[in-house]
């Protein structure tokens, strides 16, 4: 059986993805390669280094699933799905199964090897890209990077980081600058950061789909574009709730809510440039920090009395990583990076310009205000 392989690289770290199903390796290249490097490689050359093997094989999935359920196991949540976990300490193997997604996993942490088996191509491809990223995360963290909870755009290699709790507007602020003034989008929710050799902080993207509410999609002027693309047979990320797709196709722009949670469009990384004309950036050096607060009807302004700096909550850690806990022991360090690295990054970022701002719903006004405030000819 013919196999296909793709090699993913970022900042000296590399992971190979191998599968007999070309759609699986293409998916990883599409998902991760827009912000990191991705290149096809001969499968026979993949003999050492971190590796993700992916199989679309219902019989193999059934066998792997049975092995987990018949062994002593625990239950946890991974990527918002129930996952049963069985450990073989003697063999150094972690096996898991997610019945809801029909996915089985076999991790060998000592060899940085992971096998994913499933019944259908799309769930296997999605999980493979996610776990390849997790292997990369582990290597980057062990090499002195940390994970910062921020959105980011880049202008002439200088990174503007936007912070805030969910709903504060950090993603909307970054996308406003990217869409209105052509800044490169580096990340929509998280970034990797590391102290450099001359007192600054290097920033790398965290590849992921971006969650955009229908109201934001409309305000950015992207709603009709997305609708036309969907009508033409293209698709957004499969983790998106089907009701969001239905709303876009029906032209309903009002936000969708379920149990206090907004249902959002899930945009692939490559759809930012292909659909919306927003360029993606691949690296930069931190230059300024923005702490936005969005208030309907507000005139964009600096909030002098609301000035704040970074706190522990602005960094990811193993304790706060609820979506992708290190159940397969791929990181083997704290999931947000070494504590001393986070402290040094926080110290260096504290020396950069900080801007606490209130923004309204007029994105053009917001973009003009931020461009002047940040003096983007130099930042």
Which two tokens mark 151? 């959105």
Is there a domain that residue 350 lies in?
yes
Could you write out the DSSP letters of every residue in 215-260? HHHHHTT-HHHHHHHHHTT----TTS-HHHHHHHHHT--SPEEETT
Question: Number of helices (H) and strands (E), helices first, in the chain?
Answer: 10, 22
The predicted pLDDT at position 379 comes to 43
The partner residues of 293 in beta bridges, in order of sequence, read: 358
Same domain, 135 and 154: no
Structure tokens at 263: 């249902």
Q: Coil, strand or helix: which one is 257?
A: strand
Residue 344 is part of a domain; what is its CATH number? 3.40.50
**The 3-state secondary structure of 305-342, one letter per residue:** HHCCCCCHHHECCCCCCCCCCCCCCCCCCCCCCCHHHH
Are 325 and 189 in the same domain?
A: yes
pTM higher than the cut 0.85? yes
| Euclidean distance between CA atoms 217 and 223, whole angstroms | 5
Residues 282 and 185 in one domain: yes
> What distance separates the 2 farthest-apart alpha carbons in the chain?
65
Q: Are 111 and 155 in a shared domain?
A: no
Q: 205-223 burial, b if ≥16 CB within 10 A, otherwise e?
A: bbbbbbbbbbbbbbbbebb
Q: At how many degrees (to 10) do helices 223-231 and 242-250 cross?
A: 100
Domain range holding 43? Answer: 4-142
Give the total number of structural domains in the chain.
2
Residues of the chain predicted below pLDDT 70:
1, 47, 167, 306-307, 377-379
For residues 65 and 193, membership in a common domain is answered with no
Q: What is the pLDDT of residue 59?
A: 96
Q: What is the predicted pLDDT for the residue at 237? A: 93
Beta-carbon count within 10 A of 351 CB? 11
Q: Is 199 helix (H, G, I), strand (E, B) or coil?
A: coil
Q: Do both 65 and 177 map to the same domain? A: no
For tokens 């580096």, what's the residue?
186
User: Residue 304 carries which DSSP code?
Assistant: G
The reply to whether 95 and 38 lie within a common domain is yes
- Examine the domain organization and report whether 17 and 114 are in the same domain: yes
pLDDT at 265 (0 to 100):
96
Residues 158, 124 share a domain? no
Q: pLDDT value at position 345?
A: 95
pLDDT tens digits for range 273-325: 999 999 999 999 999 999 999 888 899 999 877 667 788 889 987 777 778 88
pLDDT for 194: 97
Q: What pLDDT sits at residue 306?
A: 67
Residue 1's pLDDT is what?
63
Domain boundary, last residue among 107, 142, 177: 142
Sequence-distant (6+) residues with CB within 8 A of 329 are 94, 107, 109
Residue 337 to residues 25, 136, 141, 166, 344: CA-CA distances in angstroms?
Answer: 28, 13, 5, 22, 12
57 and 45, same domain (yes or no) = yes
User: Which DSSP symbol is given to 145?
Assistant: -
User: Is residue 167 classed exposed, middle or buried when 0-12, 13-18 and 19+ CB atoms within 10 A define those classes?
Assistant: exposed
List the structure tokens of 8: 């993913």
Among 124, 142, 160, which residue terminates a domain? 142
Q: Using the 3D structure, point to which of 84, 111, 142 is the last residue of a domain.
A: 142
Task: Note whether 274 and 309 are same-domain residues.
Answer: yes
Determine, yes or no, domain membership for 227: no
Q: What would the two tokens of residue 257 be?
A: 């809510």
Tell me if 185 is assigned to some domain.
yes
**With contact defined as beta carbons under 8 Å apart, do 25 and 5 qualify?**
yes
């Amino acid at each position: 059986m013919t196999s296909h392989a793709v090699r993913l690289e970022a900042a000296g770290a590399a992971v190979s993805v191998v599968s007999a199903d070309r759609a699986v390796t293409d998916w990883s290249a599409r998902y991760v390669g827009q912000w990191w490097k991705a290149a096809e490689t001969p499968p026979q050359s993949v003999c050492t280094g971190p590796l993700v093997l992916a199989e679309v094989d219902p019989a193999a999935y059934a066998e792997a699933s049975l092995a987990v359920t018949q062994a002593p196991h625990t239950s946890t949540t991974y990527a918002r799905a129930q996952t049963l976990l069985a450990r073989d300490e003697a063999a150094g193997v972690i096996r898991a199964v997610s019945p809801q997604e029909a996915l089985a996993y076999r991790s060998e942490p000592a060899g940085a090897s992971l096998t994913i088996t499933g019944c259908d191509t799309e769930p296997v491809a999605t999980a493979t890209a996610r776990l390849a990223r997790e292997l990369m995360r582990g290597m980057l963290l062990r090499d002195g990077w940390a994970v910062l909870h921020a959105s980011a755009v880049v202008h002439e290699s200088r990174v503007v980081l936007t912070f805030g709790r969910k709903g504060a507007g950090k993603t909307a602020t970054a996308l406003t600058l990217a869409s209105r003034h052509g800044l490169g989008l580096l990340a929509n929710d998280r970034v990797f950061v590391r102290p450099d050799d001359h007192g600054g902080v290097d920033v790398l993207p965290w590849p992921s789909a971006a969650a955009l509410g229908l109201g934001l999609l409309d305000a950015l002027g992207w709603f009709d574009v997305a609708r036309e693309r969907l009508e033409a047979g293209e698709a957004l990320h499969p983790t998106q709730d089907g009701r969001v797709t239905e709303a876009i196709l029906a032209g309903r722009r009002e936000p969708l809510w379920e149990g206090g949670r907004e249902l959002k469009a899930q945009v692939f990384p490559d759809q930012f440039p292909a659909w919306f004309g927003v360029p993606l950036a691949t690296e930069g050096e931190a230059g300024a920090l923005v702490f936005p607060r969005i208030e309907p009807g507000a005139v964009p302004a600096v909030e002098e009395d609301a000035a704040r700096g970074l706190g522990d909550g602005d960094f990811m850690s193993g304790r706060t990583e609820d979506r992708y806990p290190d159940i397969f022991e791929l990181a083997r360090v704290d999931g947000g990076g070494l504590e001393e690295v986070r402290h040094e990054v926080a110290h260096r970022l504290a020396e950069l310009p900080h801007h606490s701002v209130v923004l309204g719903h007029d994105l053009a006004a917001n973009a003009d205000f931020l461009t002047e405030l940040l003096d983007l000819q130099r930042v």
